[in-house]
Structure 1
Amino acid sequence: MKKSASPSPFHVRNRHQGEYDFVALTAAHPPLAAKVRPNGYGAQSVDFADPDAVMLLNQALIKLFYGLDWQLAPGSLCPPVPGRADYVHYLADLLALDNHGTIPVADVLDIGCGANCIYPLIGQAEYGWRFTGTEIDERALKAANRIVAANPGLQRMIRLRQQKNSEAILSGIVGKNDFFHAVMCNPPFHASAAEAAAGSQRKVRNLGLQKTAPLNFGGQNNELWCEGGEKAFVSKMIAESVALGRQCMWFTSLVSRKENLPVLEKQLQALDAEVRVVNMAQGQKQSRFLAWTFMPAALRTKRLK
């Protein structure tokens, strides 16, 4: 099979290195075969402008590499699995720093798990982590619960909670007896519905499609935008995290726009938090997550034993 010109430099433990093996993928998930065809370079591929093809490809990746059945609800966000796995692996490295270099079995809180429940699925499969996923949208929560229920054993390892307060992120979710080694979050990117729609149209144009063409990522409103965008969302998450500094060891959130980091770091410094920016890269795409903790290093190590 022809190698791609610039393979994505994923995390070293990421299973999704190099080109897709479509022979193995279609064997694992036969419905994908109908979407596989030669690309302009003669290699087997799928049309990434076709939302059904993208969904089937990611379902095949989940089946082949993690042995899981991943049936997405119509209209829900279909995340690219390889990139989502990177966040999990880099988070594992962060936790290992407090555990003498060994990746621990951890309890993780996923803020906004969505209908796809992707981070709990990967984190549980890779590291045996126990997850609590939160979601504000009741339909998305039911869809995520269906995925968990469809895979034997996951109901003991992944539990889901609804955030009933639309103005809160962490508040009301973490109970007085809860303790989490890490919090994950992929916050809404856009600041308004109009901005989200404009971003969708840019993707359409970049793919060379007509304006009426379907998009390959889907997503509900609360997954794509919130008032003030990701900067406002993460800032609110930081403010709420202070009260939970002894119940959550590391708080983390993806930050898509690098220019949002300075103001968020300044907010954390004012709160006397320990702050780290973990950089990730997939090909030409640069990504990162912001991590902070209010817990001393010695106590963090003790809580991982």
Structure 2
Amino acid sequence: MSSHHRRKNQAKPVRKNLHPRNLHNQGYDFPALVKKHPALAPYVKPNAHGNLSIDFATPLAVKTLNAALLSHHYDIGGWDIPEGALCPPIPGRADYIHYVADLPGLEKTNIKLLDIGTGANGIYPLLACQIYGWQCVGSDINTQSLANVSEIIARNPSLKEQISLRIQPDKNHIFEGIIQAGEFFDISVCNPPFHASLDEALKGSQLKLNNLARSRGEQKAQSQSPTLNFGGMGAELWCKGGEQLFLKKLIKESHAYSTQCRWFTSLVSKADNVKPAKKLIRKLGAVDIREIEMKQGNKVTRVLAWTFI
């Protein structure tokens, strides 16, 4: 499917600063999305600039947009997540997959990917599978999250052969208990929990809402009951020590599995966490470290990739 995606994309001018192969460089084609996924129709309205859009502060609207995008662009039907689960931005998640696909050694066809903390949305295995035809394993500590991904796979029989799910029985481990003896992955991906506590996660959610309201020229969003408007069940959004400590644990444990995975990668949402992470990776003897910058509009995120092979 990758060559089809590649050809389709190169003819068009890139507007969104996304990876050149990313299908979302042109923004959202709402009429086409509504046609493919009629449930989106009630949420699509002209915004302040007169362009069709949705209210990104409404969780159900965002979730329905995701279902429409996955159906229209990636042939994934019936995508859904439980209330309160993390709702990922599809263009940004596709960008991660496209950028890591450019890493050395990942140009072959039979690539095996491990997603650490796949959540209830299972987004990385779903995209990697449909864009590049990779074999994927999704792991998580939450059985309900994995049950939901399992349901998505069941609604898309073609995915059954390509995606498998594993429960992490010990919250203190990342690769241990997931990577089996004699098993080899070409790449591991991860979207770490970035807050250090539930309270911090709630404040972050409120800040996000206020920023959205400001960008639409509205008053500050009303402080709502402590729910996370962008979703995220427990471990999806926060862990003790936040992103920095999680990255430290991920990097240290990656060293123990250095011969069983070619590239270890992780999203790093806080720029301040990059330097100490790189320092630790170097100290552990990685032979190649890469910091990949991803841009979406004005937002910049980064992926850290390292290999001991």
TM > 0.5 fold call? yes
Offset, 1:105: 3.1
- Which residue pairs with 1:10 in the alignment? 18
Which runs of at least 4 in structure 1 moved beyond 6 Å after TM superposition? Answer: none
Residue identity matched to 2:179 = V
Residue identity matched to 2:51 = A
CA deviations on 1:56-98 (whole Å, 9 max, x unpaired) are 111100000001121222221111100100000001001xx23
Q: TM-score, normalised by structure 2?
A: 0.89
> Is structure 2 residue 91 aligned with structure 1 residue 82?
yes
- Which residue pairs with 1:38 in the alignment? 46
- Counterpart-to-counterpart distance in 2, 1:279 and 1:240: 24
- Counterpart-to-counterpart distance in 1, 2:46 and 2:204: 29
> Is structure 2 residue 224 aligned with structure 1 residue 212?
yes
CA deviations on 1:179-233 (whole Å, 9 max, x unpaired) are 1000000000111112111111212322332112765421101000111111110
Q: Secondary structure in 2 aligned to 1:133?
A: strand
How many residue pairs match? The answer is 286
- Counterpart-to-counterpart distance in 2, 1:85 and 1:98: 19
Q: 1:22 aligns with which of 25, 30, 38?
A: 30
Show structure 1 runs of 5+ residues with no match.
1-5, 296-305
Q: Contact between 2:290 and 2:306, CA under 8 Å: does it hold in 1?
A: yes
Q: Contact between 1:123 and 1:129, CA under 8 Å: does it hold in 2?
A: yes
Q: TM-score, normalised by structure 1?
A: 0.90
Residue identity matched to 1:38 = P
- Counterpart-to-counterpart distance in 1, 2:110 and 2:188: 14
Offset, 1:247: 0.7
Q: Residues 139-154 of structure 1: matches in 2 within 5 Å?
A: 139-154=144-159
Q: Contact between 1:105 and 1:127, CA under 8 Å: does it hold in 2?
A: no
Cα separation, partners in 2 of 1:37 and 1:215, compared to 1, 3 Å: farther
> Is structure 2 residue 240 aligned with structure 1 residue 235?
no
- Which residue pairs with 2:7 in the alignment? none
Q: Secondary structure in 2 aligned to 1:280?
A: strand
CA deviations on 1:88-138 (whole Å, 9 max, x unpaired) are 0001001xx236xx4543000000000000001100000000000001011
Q: Contact between 2:205 and 2:229, CA under 8 Å: does it hold in 1?
A: no
RMSD of the TM alignment (CA)? 1.5
- Which residue pairs with 2:301 in the alignment? 287
Residue identity matched to 1:253 = S
> Is structure 2 residue 124 aligned with structure 1 residue 119?
yes
Residue identity matched to 1:13 = R
Q: Contact between 1:51 and 1:217, CA under 8 Å: does it hold in 2?
A: yes
> Is structure 2 residue 92 aligned with structure 1 residue 49?
no
- Which residue pairs with 1:266 in the alignment? 279
Residue identity matched to 1:9 = N
> Is structure 2 residue 291 aligned with structure 1 residue 277?
yes
- Counterpart-to-counterpart distance in 2, 1:143 and 1:239: 30
Residue identity matched to 1:291 = A
Residue identity matched to 2:253 = E
Q: Secondary structure in 1 aligned to 2:277?
A: helix
Q: Contact between 1:186 and 1:253, CA under 8 Å: does it hold in 2?
A: yes
CA deviations on 1:35-57 (whole Å, 9 max, x unpaired) are 11111111211111111111111
- Counterpart-to-counterpart distance in 2, 1:19 and 1:137: 33
- Which residue pairs with 1:299 in the alignment? none
Show structure 2 runs of 5+ residues with no match.
1-13, 214-219
Q: Contact between 1:183 and 1:250, CA under 8 Å: does it hold in 2?
A: yes
- Which residue pairs with 1:188 in the alignment? 193
- Counterpart-to-counterpart distance in 1, 2:100 and 2:298: 21
Identity within the alignment, %: 47
Q: 1:60 aligns with which of 63, 68, 72?
A: 68
- Counterpart-to-counterpart distance in 2, 1:203 and 1:156: 38
- Which residue pairs with 1:109 in the alignment? 114
Q: Secondary structure in 1 aligned to 2:152?
A: helix
- Which residue pairs with 2:9 in the alignment? none
